[in-house]
Structure 1
Amino acid sequence: MRPVAPGISVPDTKYKKFALLMTEFKADSVRASDTSSNTVVSTMPACEIQYSPHLCQGILPVNELRMNVRRCVSSSTLLQIGDELDSAEVEAIHFLCRDNSSKTNIQDLLEDINDGSLPLPFGLAEVLYVIKRFDLLRKYLHTPKAVVENLLKSCSTISFSYRSLLVGISEQLEESDLESLIFLLKDHMRSGGKLKNKTFLTLATELEKMNLIHPGKLDLLEQSLQNIHRIDLKNKIIKFKQTALPDRYNNVFGVPPSNQRVINVPPIPGEAINFHKDSVPVQETGEFDQQREEERYVVRKETMGFCLIIDCVGNDASLLENTFKSLHFTVMIHRYCIIEQLESILKDVANMEQHINHDIFVCIIISRGNDDSIFCTDSSSPGFSLDRIKYFFTGKSCPRLVGKPKLFFIQNYIAQGDKDLDNMLEADGPTTVCANRPPNIPVEADIFWSHCKVEEIYLQQSPSLPSLYFRFLSQLLNDVEKRKQKHLLDIHTELNRIVRDKKEECIIYQQHTLTKKLFFCPC
């Protein structure tokens, strides 16, 4: 027997296949292929490996896999897990467990889930997987995401799959979508649409109380999603109905009892198992492309990201703060910094523990400067090199951001007398590539760099107005439909076109090492 994770061992003959499931812990992944004489092992970026359910078959019996994954943890560990959950995640866990526990306190509920002696059809690992707290899976349960995927594929009750489906829909709904759903369904509810908590899961609970939805009765919700043009979410319900349609069902609201049967869907080679597909709308007649899910960064609604704004000019911070707060970002603002303060701020932010709870990091800097540097508010300084900014947030300097997109938006007002801007300007307006001096983005994955340069005279002409660059970036990010349909690179391309059409003498260039598509909406 070989140990593959704390508390998990597999026979030597199956170790090579099982190694594929452990790549979640490593920056590089191991690809192993059996030959008659030896095993060939090579390293490759983790993003190039796609989890394939058929590789898991025969590695561990389902019962043994379930026992290994559903190991009990200490009460102190449960307390730590509870402390790291936000209000939306707590609500999701209560909803997932509604058929099996009436506990209202999250710590008591986690104790029930953790108690191996109770006949619950799921464990703590499955719950953390569904709410997408993969960091807690690794940190406290020492379990790779792929192992839990395999367990859910092999053994998942209708009740848990149904509630996982609704939690996934909840994460992907915009506030405007929820408003529309409540309006459409208010006549079906006793409350007339006045919900105690204005969330989709509260709405779903109200509909369950009226016996209007359950695993075998989802037509009303499906039609409502159709009416608000969320065809992607409607297709999730259709797929669930095709694979897990029950005859009867039993829940805490007195819906008639059911046979709690187990879903055992034959795996499709090469496809990943995941309850949450991305929310990019698809044509009503088309099928959802499951590969898209593997191409997207995970983004959760309530903890979408952390945004650092350093405004040394004073005309953009308020606009950007409102924009990113509306996207559920935590926003930190510093105004009128000197260079010494800038370096201290970057170091402190890079060392923040809370990055582990966020899915996106955004750094925005507005300052006077030259082609290579920013001056902050210093009047007699060589400036702070722009290339240095990115190095504070590399995997080595900020390990809590490894695997997460790190976005940098720089508005640089080029001081008069600096000739570099004149040399780079094109006759037909802005460009996305700096002709003379391209930025030195580090060889580091998941970085996006957008840099706008404009002559300082434009700032002097409109000192209190937001810059053209950030004004239209904010407009694009505030457009709900664009956020659903366009990823970051598409949005930035549209930003370039808008700035070009305005005929202002500015340069916007962009480079990136993103490994997936980034949408500013939950997936």
Structure 2
Amino acid sequence: MTRCQVPAFLIHQIQEELGKEEEEMMVFLCRDLAPDLANADLKEILLALNEREKLTPVGLSELLYRVKRFDLLRRILNTEKATVEAHLARSFRLIPDYRVLMVEINENLEKDEVGSLGFLLRDYAPRMKMAKDKSFLALIIDLEKLNLVAPNQLDLIENCFRSIHRIDLIRKIQTYKRKASMSSVHCQPVYVNAHPASVPNFNLIEPPYHSGIQNESMKKLQNGSSLTLAAAEPLHLSIEESGSVPHKMSDDSYRMQSQPLGICLIIDCIGNDTDVLEETFRGLGYEVHCHRYLNMSSMNQTLLEVARWQKHKTCDSFVCILVSRGNSQSIFCTDHTFSGFPLEQIKKYFTADSCPGLLGKPKLFFIQSYVVPENEQECTCLLEVDGNADNIRAKVTIPHTADIFWSHCKVDVSTLEQSPTAPSKYLRCLAELLRNPYKRKLCILAIHMELNKKVYDGNMTTDPSQQYSLLLQHTLRKRLFFPLDCC
């Protein structure tokens, strides 16, 4: 055990003392520290953080402080509430402010108010499971999964609190927003290790039981020696908290420095957006390959050829843009049979097992589908494609494969029929954002949030039948920033 780790018996003892609601709060607070353990229990999460050297006695004391178990601070960690508060005032914090805010709100809500929130949220997330006894924190996790709530996306929660007349909670959120806007980044700061001399010393008291524990750290504790608590390891932020940050290489950001930055494949079967997209991604540093008016067979061949290119090995990313008529699961290309090329298969061509050169690298897909009504589609067999096609007819879902960013915009084909030469609002807004030097300071998820706003603001003045809808799904493991010195 290293000096900064916590003895396992303390984790066990603390977990035994916590109630069910306190455990839920602590798991929620740790959610960004161990995103791969989203479904684990508290003890498993704390032990994993400890093994990864992300949990120190200081961090453990902060967690107890956040769930208001001041008695355990004193009895188990032998420290006081005031000591922890002084430590937190120095900004050496393990838990992001957003998580702290949600826990504070959770503690200020009555059970019937949580039920009212669940009812109101049906308008925004009709497919979300609304269990009768679901807690506020559980609701927030569900909304996070749907990209409806994030550290810099709290308007939905504010509107719900307004509906139940909790103005005090709206003020809490607005205070958080003001503090966030004063920071140079729109996310929780990355806290770095401080000099040990600047951090207070906490003594871990002797454990209540000794049998079976013979390791060296245990003996030191029994002899009364103290553990000096260093500040936590640099906090690796979750993707939801990404915002404007300096473009420095770090463990929680993808490398985006190769020349070219990657291959950008544009397949435009409509023909209205190729030029602006080519200019935009060439300006970002991509090697752009454009194909217009492909039928399904030609597109299948093109995708296969590009996926097999060896040059992916020397590039840091890959971009694929598709524009076509289609339905929710397929695109039709220029074929008139409407048999459909499955979107799921397109992703499979560029996963790590099919395209090893892109292993561990971000793969970005931007899809504009002009949706043809079902009664106008002809029912014919799907095109046979290479690769794993056994699930080709299955419902399209993001694969459980890392490093994929999937942005899918749909609009009724009547939009195209009314204005055959009009560009896609979605793709034009995307190009506009990517060419804006200020917006390129944001990570790709924050840029997409801006894209959502532009598209949905445009919907406000558009006939319902002509409105665009966006779906974002991703399995990114790190933050992704485009270079600033481009375009």
TM range (shorter): 0.3 to 0.5
**TM-score (ref. length: structure 2):** 0.44
TM-score (norm 1): 0.41
More strand by share: 1
